[in-house]
Amino acid sequence: MNNDIIVDSAILNIKDTLENGQFFRYSQLGGVYTVRTLDKVAILYERGDKVIIENEDKAYFHNFFDLDTDYAAIKQSLYTLPLMKDAIDHAPALRILRQDAFETVINFIISANNHIQRIKAIIERLCAGGAFPTLTALAARPIEFYRSLGAGYRDNYLYNTAQILGNNHAIINSIRDMDTPAAIKALTALSGVGPKVADCILLFGYYRMDTFPVDTWIKKVYKDIYGDVSNTSVMRSKLISTYGDLSGYAQQYLFYNKRG
DNA sequence: AGCCAGGCCTCAA
DNA sequence: TTGAGGCATGGC
């Protein structure tokens, strides 16, 4: 008897779920993926038509990989909406991870105007090969620590946000009880968090599907639908009106399909 | 070599 | 409230 989680590979595709830009703390060697979040580790690989998730916290990773959500129903609802057929067919077993909110705040501050490979490297240095640092630990770090990560001008954002959250640990959880506009307002009060990063935090760190992060790739997608781009907040509103309460899922299918 | 990256901040008007 | 300009770093 062991602690493995075993799911059908038609339900969870490892590569499409981990390498779609929602998550950064993974490594891959010979098709075996190592996932790190908080102080936890999971090993994922395919065996036949199954995916094996070796782990030491079954309940945590069952939730992390969103295994109680019926993606067949979600995909069916989205399938006839603009651009969704190709995007869903490109990654039919992609799932949205239920990530830790604080870790997501830090990671997506780093993500702004950055490349995914470099984002991963910066986060790796932040974690120094071990657990994701706690809020208390980060709040105790001086600015020099953040400069040493090679995060560029984002070092000040990280330092300032660690100070803000360190002085009020309740902020992260209080956002769970807010409606989305209030949550965006609270998040953008943090340093280095603008509208797009706030949407990413809500989608990936709070599993809010009534959000639609608009980045450079989604702007290309928008152009495919409407023929032109416009003001970012206008595009966001139109996209959410198109995809409704499933916007978060739609956004991730579209992002991954466009970026490849 | 120059452009670009899951954009944000500051500062005008 | 909105829009331009600046911005560290590194992959391509």
Q: How far apart are CA A63 and CA A99, in angstroms?
A: 9
Calculate the angstrom distance between C1' of B9 and CA of A189.
12
- Among A13-27, A90-104, A212-226, the minimum mean pLDDT is found in A212-226
Q: Pull the structure tokens for residue A53.
A: 């998730």
Task: Verify whether residue A223 is a known catalytic residue.
Answer: no
Lookup: nucleotide whose C1' is closest to A121 CA: C10
Lookup: nucleotide whose C1' is closest to A161 CA: B8
For residue A239, which of A22, A79, A72, A82 has the smallest C-alpha distance? A82
Name the pTM for this structure: 0.98
| Percent with pLDDT over 70 in chain A | 100
| pLDDT(A249) > 70 | yes
Calculate the angstrom distance between C1' of C2 and CA of A198.
20
- Residue A35: phi and psi, rounded to 5, are -110, 130
| pLDDT(A129) > 70 | yes
A208, amino acid identity = R
Q: How far apart are CA A61 and CA A68, in angstroms?
A: 11
Footprint of strand C on the protein (CB under 7 A): A 113-115, 117-118, 121, 150-153, 231, 233
For strand B, which nucleotides have at least one atom less than 7 Å from a protein CB? 4-9
Q: How far apart are CA A108 and CA A122, in angstroms?
A: 11
| pLDDT(A1) > 60 | no
For residue A157, which of A189, A195, A118 has the smallest C-alpha distance? A189
pLDDT digit string, tens, across residues A134-157: 999 999 999 999 999 999 999 999
The per-residue pLDDT for A2 is 83
Q: Which of A15, A85, A120, A196 is catalytic?
A: A196
A186, amino acid identity = A
